[in-house]
Structure 1
Amino acid sequence: MGRPRLCRVHDLMHEIILRKAEYLGFFHFVNREHSNLSSKIRHISIQESTDSALESIKYSKIHSVSHFNVDSLLNSFMTTLVVDFKLVKVLDFEDSLIKYLAEGVGNLFHLHYLSVKNTKVKVLPKSIGKLLNLENLNLKRSLITKLHVEIKNLKKLRYLLTYHSDNGWYYGMVKIPTGFGPLLDLQRLGYVEANFEVLKELTKLRHLRKFAIWITYGNEKDICACIGNLEKLISLTILISREEILNIESMTSPPHGLQRLRLTGNMKKLLDWIFKLEHLVRISLDLSGLIDDYIRVLQALPNLLELRLRDTYLDEQLHFKDDWFPKLKVLVLSSFEGVELMIIDKGAMPNLEKLRIGPCPLLKEIPIGIEHLRNLSFILCWKKFII
């Protein structure tokens, strides 16, 4: 399902990879024990501490810098990076303890990739608008809540990742300013909160492939018109408060190649076009108010691999019948507070590998027929909320 996110190798193979990378001058790992740096090295990974790294890279021609398990990041180190290393193309501060980016980061003209993922950074410097070669800006799980208007100058930007999540269901939004129209190369944008003016500009982003947005009540028609122009879209997320009506009936024909869909809000009935998405492999629904038997219809989606449902089922009994979900590999059922009994017939979900159920406070026992899931490798069931 999708692209691989992690790769594990044997300890011995890991050591061979590290030594080969350093021997070829491709990569160097800097830590307290090994801080000597050849002038030929172009890519470094700093581990544990930046104290020794600062002197090591002072006279080198570094192209990329990554951090792993860094306990602290000195101000002098940040200054050295943005002042002395004009050839840097990659800056990855993921999981580090930084709280700001130096204003001088805008002088790194060759920078292609910048990540402050999972850091304490609250504001991007306005000089970010000078990074005309920037292609990937990763702000996920940072403390940034809005973007400066200068972001519109990044004409080569392809990926703008701006969200943080809680258990995969709730997302913190980032407000984007007007003037986004010139970012014609943008392929991935989310999660963002946009007003009417911004939505109109988003219709120009014809290369957008992955899009996630929080809409305010009353702007549903505008978002429907916007999405109707995004013909290359393969992943779509539309969020609104569960108490507010998710009124997107006017979207009669979504992008035909849609592979991933996530909806949150209040909706009595799923839209008919959802059941016609032949390429859909992942769907997540966090919808209050559903009254139709939507699971019976969803099971017919021919290529569905992952199904995530939260607080969307009202009946006491949940029954998965023979031949339902023939390709499904992941099933997550969260906050099914009224379900007392779950039944899995032989022949249902024959390829299921992961099953997560809960909290389901009224569920009396593990699903009946769970022994039929021959490919199941992971199961987690709980009745109450875990605090």
Structure 2
Amino acid sequence: MDPAVRMVFKNMTTDLAEQYPALVEPAKLILKKCNGLPLAIVTIGGFLADQPTKTAAEWRKLNEHISVELDMNPKFEVIKTVLMKSYDGLPYYLKSCFLYMSIFPEDRNVSRRRLAYRWIAEGYARDKATADRYFMELVERSMILPTQQSVCSIQGFDSCQLHDLIRDISIAESMEENLVFRLEEGCSSNTHGAVRHLAISSNWEGDERELESTVELSRIRSLTVFGKWKPFYISDKMRFLRVLDLEGTEGLRNHHLEHIGELLHLRFLSLRGCHEIFYLPDSVGNLRQLETLDIKGTGIAMLPRTTIKLSKLCYLHAGSGSGDNEKTYFSKCEDICEMQRDLCVGCCSLDLSDLDGFGRCEAFHLVCCLMYPNIIRGIEDSGVKVPRGTRKLKALRTLRYVHLAWGIAIIKEIKGLTGLQKLGVVGINKKNGPGFCSAISSLSHLESLSVRSGDGLNGCLDGMYTAPENLQSLKLSGSLEKLPEWIKGLQNLVKLRLELSKLSGNLETMQVLGKLQNLSILGLWDDGFKIDVLRFQTGLFRRLMVLDLFYSRMEIKLVEFEEESMPNLELLTLSLGDTEIAFSGLELLQSIKEVRLSVHSYLFGTPKSSKNGGNEKMGKTLYEMMKREEERNKPMQDKVRQELQAQLDRNKNRPVLKVQ
């Protein structure tokens, strides 16, 4: 929101609270609908001010029916006129992208990644770079609102949503053009015919008959499901489906996907976050038009052999890939093969009749997880095994995350993917490290590389003598005694993150990193060791704009910024655990605009309650522990905040301190 508009908000709310305290809450609801749009604020605010009676009930009524008022009330006509002109002024290639946004629910943050890959599948964008450009054009034209900017993102904004008033235009125009229809509570059951995109909302409780009578399923080109899964959502009539987006769908299980291979025109398939999916059927190999396969956050440990038939596959996202420090439970492929034979014998001898609702293969996999949890967890929580022959997928541009501990054959497959631009791997060790380094050296188009190891990276990456010259983003997760030599040559590197490396405070490391001439984003995440001084010296990090420091259970006496260090630093984020840290030199940072501070417990996240009594009890116990930890950390947080604020007050830029 514009600072001037924010100030008007504050003054209006203060005056309102003094004269009409009962109107404060409905006013906030209306302001939320305006969402920082100055024209809407001024027009609607003026309308309310002119009303002879000012009651909370009337204001709530306006908030609930604001879309109708925009259509019917002549005083609001100017808002709709201006917004429609903004839409009409869009170039043709952006109109389809904008109307496509009406698929997503109100107030839903939509990831940039999700939109980009879907636009490509629909033919709205030629490739990822084009889709990213369209996204930013819509942001710049204020047609979509950026809602999250990653601290360590080269691209900037990671997600967006539609302004409520603009969303109404998107919905109306998309329905008029038979582009999007949303099945939701209270929607018309009249036949809507040849709509291209169908979105099923979480509050829709209809049945198969109602679905088939409402839309012409044979005309559907994309299906998006929000909330709980029902088996009839995918119909054999959807022969021309291009996009199947089931991200975060609850209750989806393996046997629901048995016939997925019949959707021969599918270009985009997302099962992201569907935790009860453990494998893909072999029929996925029939999807010869598939360009994007997103199975990140599922339980899938191995891709089926038939995946190698997906000759048009460009983007493959798998594994957890969350940056968590996973533990590798195995190092030899032979051990896994031997265990797999045991699993097959054990499962085939079991009586599975009591596992109601599970297909036989699904039940087998479930039993495997119960019998051998360490082995299954070691694979599923990190990366997947790709089949022999993956090197044939010459269109592949993104491959994340692959587990290298399956054997040297995996590395040979990666080496053959010469068109790769983004690669993420886990499970690297001293045995497979040399082969991996050799493979990376042959990937001349590589722009982004992520390498994770729960056993440490020492000696794993030293065999790379020439790093990919186009590398722009690098993430290394695992302990290191020193930086690999080849990092010195990454003169095109823009973003670097070191997780659990234990190199924070290493003077030689800071000098190497500080001389990388294009480094703009640096993240240092460490845990559980001692540093006397983390010093950023004069003359280094000349291009750095974002510094992200994440320290948990650390002993750090001082973080020091010398004069003329980091002359272009604009954002500093500090995530601190059980540690007291002193800071020095913040007043010397020439370009600093914002500092974000959070003091966290070692127990990350808030436990979710469960219907299962034991789990619910455990969740409450963890929650109570976290609350006690937060209270214990509060004095330290206040002390750090006061110290930071005192130094920032002496900085000529008057940077903002945000405590999260």
TM-score relative to the length of structure 2: 0.54
- 1:105-120 alignment to 2 at 5 Å? 105-120=260-275
- Residues 15-34 of structure 1 mapped to structure 2, 5 A cutoff: 15-34=168-187
Amino acid at match of 1:141: G
The 3 A distance-change label for structure 1 pair 110 and 203 is: same
Relative to structure 1, the CA distance from residue 384 to residue 317 in structure 2 (aligned partners, 3 Å threshold; closer, same or farther) is farther
What's the CA shift for 1:153? 1.0
Matching residue of 2:245: 92
Alpha-carbon separation, structure 2, partners of 1:45 and 1:377: 39
SS at match of 1:192: strand
Which residue of structure 1 lines up, in the alignment, with residue 543 of structure 2?
Answer: 327
- The Cα offsets for residues 326-347 of structure 1, whole Å up to 9 and x where unpaired, read as 3323322223613111122354
User: Could you say what secondary structure the match of 2:556 adopts?
Assistant: coil
Aligned match of 1:270: 483
Which letter maps to 1:105?
I
Q: How far apart, in 2, do the equivalents of 1:375 and 1:38 lie?
A: 54
Q: RMSD over aligned Cα, in angstroms?
A: 2.5
The 1:340/1:50 distance shift into structure 2, 3 A limit, reads same
More helix as a share of residues: 2
| CA distance in 2 between partners of 1:203 and 1:16 (Å) | 48
Residue 119 of structure 1 deviates from its aligned partner by: 1.1
Pairwise mapping of residues 138-177 of structure 1 onto structure 2 (< 5 A)? 138-166=294-322, 172-177=382-387
Per the alignment, residue 127 of structure 1 pairs with 283
Query: What is the distance in 2 between the residues matched to 1:75 and 1:281?
Result: 45
Aligned to 2:555: 338
Tell me how far 1:249 sits from its aligned partner.
1.7
Q: 1:371 to 1:167 in 2, by over 3 A?
A: farther
Provide the residue aligned with 1:73 in structure 2: 229
Matched residue of 2:449: which SS? strand
| Alignment-derived partner of residue 194 in structure 2 | 40
d(CA) in 2 for partners of 1:247 and 1:165?
19
Which residue identity is paired with 1:279? Answer: N
Equivalent of 1:210 in 408, 422, 433: 422
Cα offset, 1:287, TM superposition: 4.8
Shift in Å, 1:275 = 2.1
Q: Work out the CA distance in 1 between the residues paired with 2:165 and 2:580.
A: 47
What is the CA distance between 1:370 and its match in structure 2?
2.9
User: Relative to structure 1, is the Cα distance of residues 19 and 377 closer, same or farther in structure 2, using a 3 angstrom cutoff?
Assistant: farther
Compared with structure 1, are the counterparts of its residues 90 and 298 closer, same or farther at alpha carbon in structure 2 (3 Å cutoff)?
A: same
1:273 Cα deviation from its structure 2 partner:
2.2
* Distance (whole Å) between structure 2 residues aligned to residue 346 and residue 48 of structure 1: 55
| Structure 2 residue identity aligned to 1:16 | I
Report 1:43-58 matches (<5 A).
Answer: 43-52=197-206, 54-55=211-212, 56-57=214-215
Q: Contact 1:181/1:204 (CA < 8 Å) preserved in 2?
A: yes
CA contact (8 A) 2:314 2:398 kept: yes
Instruction: Judge which range, 254-263 or 289-298, deviates more.
Output: 289-298
* Structure 2 equivalent of residue 237 of structure 1: 450
Shift of 1:162: 0.2
Which residue does the alignment assign to 1:252? 465
Residue 159 of structure 1 deviates from its aligned partner by 0.6
Work out whether residues 230 and 255 of structure 1, in 8 Å CA contact, stay in contact via their aligned partners in 2.
yes
> Could you list the per-position Cα deviations for residues 247-303 of structure 1 after superposition, in whole angstroms to 9, with x for gaps in the alignment?
222201011000011122343221232122121111111254645521122122222
Q: Comparing both structures, which one devotes a greater share of its residues to strand?
A: 1
User: Which secondary structure state, in structure 2, belongs to the residue aligned with residue 236 of structure 1?
Assistant: strand
How has the CA–CA distance of structure 1 residues 315 and 296 changed in structure 2, closer, same or farther, with 3 Å as cutoff? Answer: farther
> Which SS does the other structure have where 1:110 is aligned?
coil
1:335-385: CA deviation from partner (whole Å, max 9, x where unpaired): 3613111122354334434433343534344x3333445543351242752
1:180 paired with 2:390, answer yes
Aligned 8 A contact 2:315 2:397 in 1: yes
Residues 104-139 of structure 1, C-alpha deviations (whole Å, 9 max, x = no match): 110100000000011122211111111111110001
Determine helix, strand or coil for the equivalent of 1:172: coil
**Which 10-residue stretch deviates more, 157-166 or 228-237?**
157-166
Give the conservation status (yes or no) of the 8 Å contact 1:240–1:246: no
Q: 2:474 matched to 1:261?
A: yes
Aligned counterparts of 1:304 and 1:192: Cα–Cα separation in 2: 27
* Partner SS state of residue 434, structure 2: helix
Higher-Rg structure is 2
Residue by residue, what CA displacement relative to the aligned partner does 1:217-274 show, whole Å, maximum 9, x if unpaired?
4011110111111110001122222446342222010110000111223432212321
Comparing 197-206 with 263-272, greater Cα deviation is found at 263-272
Distance in 2 (CA, whole Å) between partners of 1:134 and 1:264 is: 31
Matching residue of 1:192: 402
CA distance, structure 2, for counterparts of residue 360 and residue 343 of structure 1: 19
SS of match in other structure, 2:497: strand
In structure 2, relative to structure 1, the CA distance for the partners of 1:352 and 1:20 (3 Å cut) is farther
Report the TM-score when normalising by structure 1: 0.89
The DSSP-based 3-state class of the residue aligned with 1:181 is helix
Task: Name structure 1 gaps, 5 residues minimum.
Answer: none
Q: Deviations over 1:63-116 (max 9, x none)?
A: 001133x2x2112223x2xx1101000000011112234211101000000000
2:593 to 364, 376, 379: 376
Larger CA deviation: 376-385 vs 220-229 = 376-385
Where does the alignment leave 5 or more consecutive residues of structure 2 unmatched?
A: 1-153, 327-380, 605-660
Q: Secondary structure at the match of 2:158?
A: coil
Asked whether the 8 Å contact 1:268–1:292 carries over to 2, the reply is no
- Per the TM alignment, residue 199 of structure 1 is displaced from its structure 2 partner at its CA by 1.2
**Partners of 2:568 and 2:430 in 1: CA distance:** 39
Q: Distance in 2 between matches of 1:20 and 1:346?
A: 56
CA distance, structure 1, for counterparts of residue 544 and residue 183 of structure 2:
44
2: CA distance, partners of 1:128 / 1:93: 16
The structural deviation recorded for 1:32 is: 1.3
| Cα 1:169/1:247, change in 2 over 3 Å | closer
Identity %: 28
Worse overlay, 206-215 or 373-382? 373-382
